[in-house]
Amino acid sequence: MQTAQPLPSDAPAQRPVKVRIDGISKHYGPVEALQPTTLEILAGEFVTVLGPSGSGKTTLLQIISGLTEPTSGRLFIDGADQTHVPVHRREIGVVFQNYALFPHLTVAENVTFPLQMRRMAAAVRRAKLEAALEMVGLSELRDRFPRELSGGQQQRVALARCFVYAPSLILMDEPLGALDRKLRETMQIEIKRLHRETGATIVFVTHDQEEALAMSDRVCLMNDARVEQFGTPQAIYQHPRTTFAAEFVGISNMLRGTVTAGGDRLETPDGSFAIPPTMRATAASGTPGVLIIRPEHLEITTAEDATIQGRVIDSVYAGSETRLLVALPSGTVVTVRRAVMPAGLRVGDTIGLSWAPHHCNFLEA
């Protein structure tokens, strides 16, 4: 069984701990939906829980919200043990993927619903409604019903309904999953703005790596019902701690081989390559390992200056960049990413590639 995950070493500057997950696990019969997990989320942080389907991210969110009881471990919010506190007593805001709006209520009625449930005075409800609608830009649509709104407008209503009673902890379960790409990007900016203006702690679940990198203070990457890596987007992208992290977050080129006797090089089917000096202490002679190079760190060079050579097998134009797929002698295909490619380069050409030692990572396989 997986042991409890240690607290992250690359956490941002210390702030009060908002949520502490202490050895939490969840079983459904023989199925382990969440292995024992320990981590801390700081007050005011935007933490994204990222991972493929079945990785445990929704289970973790449901345990924080109170919709699911853990099998073991304890959950603390603002220092208080909330492990067995029912969901309606946790004062947590939740935004779902399907918005969960009341179809028979207007925008204004949907937004003020949580205020009515808390029996706030009418004057207070009106003031909070006005502020919430202005915050999401829906003041002029207050009398419309959900069926009369676009997907993006419905999502804004769901956000306003969540933010209107100012919860200090907000959980979002893939709230942008049903939107098209352009609208998703617009709503990402809106959610970041709301987070900045309100100072709320947000835990945001997604399977979209670009969304996680763009929005988060820290990313909790999950795989196989456990935390794979927890850190800043930059740390996870630039210094993945596992091959799964390297492959799931962004594109990674991987050269697999065996560490040489000196512990300073990796022998692969495509040649012998230097292991970065700062990582040689982890490279035990004779053990399998992998060098990881991001596409933007591969340089196109002349044959004389090349660390390795390969044949261009495809070219993908993506507007702001072009990606070359290059087959190495062993058959391994690597990706090269450039804003501007050398003039005259064509599919079928043989090119040289090189990289700076500090731009690659080494992991034991």
Each of the 365 residues of the chain gets a pLDDT tens digit; together they read: 344 444 444 555 578 999 999 999 999 999 999 999 999 999 999 999 999 999 999 999 999 999 999 999 999 999 999 999 998 888 898 888 777 889 999 999 999 999 998 899 999 999 999 998 988 889 999 999 999 998 888 988 988 998 888 888 999 998 887 778 887 888 888 889 889 988 999 999 999 999 999 999 999 999 999 999 999 999 999 999 999 999 999 999 999 999 998 889 999 999 999 998 888 877 788 899 999 999 999 999 988 889 999 999 999 988 889 999 999 999 999 999 998 888 889 999 999 999 998 899 999 87
**Residue 318's pLDDT is what?**
85
**Residue 10's pLDDT is what?**
59
Euclidean distance between CA atoms 12 and 18, whole angstroms: 14
Nearest residue to 230 via CA among 96, 91, 53, 42: 42
Residue 312 parent element (H or E): strand 308-317
Q: What is the token pair recorded at 260?
A: 């040489």
E strands along 29-88, which residues?
31-42, 46-50, 72-77, 80-81
Q: What is the token pair recorded at 348?
A: 């079928």
> Which phi and psi angles does 266 have, rounded to 5°?
-115, 120
Euclidean distance between CA atoms 300 and 341, whole angstroms: 9
- 50 DSSP 8-state letter: E
CA distances from 122 to 116, 159, 166 (A): 9, 21, 17
Helix (H, G, I), strand (E, B) or coil at 315: strand
Question: Per DSSP, what are the bridge partners of residue 292?
Answer: 254, 361
Torsion of CA 245, 249, 255, 257, to 10 degrees: 10
Residue in the structure block whose two tokens are 């012998």: 272
Q: What is the token pair recorded at 72?
A: 């073991």
Bridging pattern class, strands 308-317 and 350-354: antiparallel
Residue 162 parent element (H or E): helix 151-163
Bridging pattern class, strands 308-317 and 322-327: antiparallel
The C-alpha angle with vertex 120 and arms to 114 and 122, in degrees rounded to 5, equals 105
**Residue 2's pLDDT is what?**
40
Buried b / exposed e over 298-332, threshold 16 CB at 10 Å, is bbbbeeeebbbbbebeeeeeeeeebbbbbebeeeb
Structural domains of the chain, with CATH: 17-244 (3.40.50.300), 252-364 (2.40.50.140)
**Residue 12's pLDDT is what?**
57
Helices 122-136 and 107-117: crossing angle, nearest 10°?
A: 130
Question: In whole angstroms, what separates CA 351 from the centre of its chain?
Answer: 34
Q: Whole-prediction pTM value?
A: 0.86
Torsion of CA 241, 246, 248, 252, to 10 degrees: 180
